[in-house]
Amino acid sequence: MDSKEAMPLDGLCTRCIGRIFASEGHGLTNHQRGESFIESQSQNGIEISVVKETECRICQGIFQSAETYSTEISRRLSSYEYAGFTIGCTFSEETIEMESSIQASFGSKGESIKKEFNREIGKLIEQHTGKSFQKDDPDIMIKVDTRYMSMDFQVKSLFVYGTYRKYSRDMPQTRWIKYTEKKDTIESIIGEILNSLTGGDAYFLHGAGREDVDVRMLGNGREFIIESCNPKQRSIDLDKLGKMVNSSGKNVEIQDLSFTTRDKVRILKEEKHSKIYLATVVADKDIDKEAFLKSLEAINGKVIYQRTPLRVSTSRSDLVRERMVFGITMENLQGNTATLRIEAEAGVYIKELVSGDRGRTNPNLSDVSGMDLTISELDVIEIKR
Ligand SMILES: [Zn+2]
């Protein structure tokens, strides 16, 4: 190598020179690689003008701050419960480009400054905290931006699976963005209590479908996964969580709790289960039992065609769904009010099956019975799963 080729190395420190050859000489630090390269060049009569790390064009002495970074990070980590961590560092584009063009002129056999800095801080954090670097799905991702000397944590959410029952006819499953009114939701009741145990700062409820605000969810309950964001505690007592929610007097009960993972949310949301409902149906006149039972037969075991109901058509695309009503029986009748037990495929709009939704559901119970029927009360009493 003549002195012209060695030119790109001017203004670099020993460590950054060594990093150019990182894939060679295993078991050496970059600093050691740098020393041995400089020495071998010197023996060939080529003198490289090495600078101190603080004057280095690439690293600008950042490695001397590794202890400061790792001490501060370890201090902040101490308020979290976590199994392991990973680190990602950001350097300025100029630094990265300068480094890769210098390394390219030596055959791109080096490693990036990011990789070395991650490793150096990681080792120090391991020493300070006793926790290990966790490459896959770490509880905490530490993000260091060397441009601003800033550090941030991305804490993996904690996910808890369960089933809920809702005893209120005036409670949405999740918060309604469009209403500013502070109203209890299933999400807020479970989420607030969960975060009181995890120290999380936000929560989201992911339901396996949802019932209307005025529909009770009884029986075996509906599956959900609640997500606690930025949790400080992860190994919380789920029995305690259940007891706290169930004794809160908020008309929500949860059971079957277990820890789960983010990838289960999508699976849960894609589940399709048929359901059994109990519906209180009110007619515009007294109901004739025999005639009404015959009308039920026109729906029983039939495929129905439902256009997206008017009441939800602003939020869902208008299409016709083909769905099965597996069974419909009368449990009780008094004057103009009947109680029906309806078993239907996932996705049937039960209120519209009864009312007809101005002809958008066919067949429907109002048409086949020749009466104006509406549902005054509706409960989900079983989800078949
Ligand atoms: Zn350097």
Ligand 1 centre to CA of 19 (Å) is 9
| pLDDT for the residue 6 | 47
Rounded to an integer, the average pLDDT of 199-203 is 97
Cα angle 330-336-342, degrees, rounded to a multiple of 5: 25
Specify whether the backbone of 31 is left (phi greater than 0), alpha (psi in -120 to 50) or beta. Answer: alpha
Q: pTM for this one?
A: 0.88
| pLDDT for the residue 41 | 92
Q: What is the pLDDT of residues 329-346, one digit of tens each?
A: 999 999 999 999 999 999
Backbone phi and psi for residue 125, each to the nearest 5 degrees, phi listed first = -65, -40
Ligand 1 centre to CA of 56 (Å) is 5
What is the rounded CA–CA span in Å between residue 113 and residue 165? 54
Ligand 1 centre to CA of 128 (Å) is 25
Ligand 1 centre to CA of 154 (Å) is 29
Please identify which residue in the block is written with the tokens 């070395």.
116
Q: What is the pLDDT of residues 270-316, one digit of tens each?
A: 999 999 999 999 999 999 999 999 999 999 999 999 999 988 877 78
Q: What 8-state DSSP symbol labels residue 357?
A: T
Ligand 1 centre to CA of 60 (Å) is 6
Rounded to an integer, the average pLDDT of 246-274 is 96
Rounded to an integer, the average pLDDT of 110-137 is 95
Rounded to an integer, the average pLDDT of 136-156 is 96
Tell me how far the alpha carbon of residue 66 is from its chain's centroid.
Answer: 32
| pLDDT for the residue 26 | 79
| pLDDT for the residue 150 | 95
Ligand 1 centre to CA of 54 (Å) is 7
Q: What 8-state DSSP symbol labels residue 8?
A: G
Ligand 1 centre to CA of 75 (Å) is 27
CB 332 within 8 A of CB 338: yes
What is the rounded CA–CA span in Å between residue 168 and residue 215? 8
- Within 10 angstroms of residue 338's Cβ, the number of other Cβ atoms is 23
pLDDT band at 4 (very low <50, low <70, confident <90, very high): very low
What is the rounded CA–CA span in Å between residue 381 and residue 205? 21
What is the rounded CA–CA span in Å between residue 7 and residue 57? 13
CATH class, range 275-383: alpha beta
Closest CA to 233 of 288, 196, 181: 196
pLDDT band at 317 (very low <50, low <70, confident <90, very high): confident
Domain residue ranges of the chain, discontinuous segments joined by +: 3-155, 158-270, 275-383
Catalytic residues: 212
Q: What is the pLDDT of residues 52-86, one digit of tens each?
A: 999 999 999 999 999 999 999 999 999 999 999 99
Torsion of CA 143, 147, 149, 152, to 10 degrees: -20
Closest CA to 29 of 111, 130, 126, 128: 111
Checking DSSP bridges between strand 84-90 and strand 132-133, what pairing results, if any?
parallel
Cα angle 319-380-212, degrees, rounded to a multiple of 5: 50
- Tell me if domain 158-270 and domain 275-383 are identical in fold: yes
Helix (H, G, I), strand (E, B) or coil at 211: coil
Q: Mean pLDDT across the chain, nearest whole number?
A: 94
Bridge partner list, 275: 344, 383
CATH architecture of 158-270: 2-Layer Sandwich (3.30)
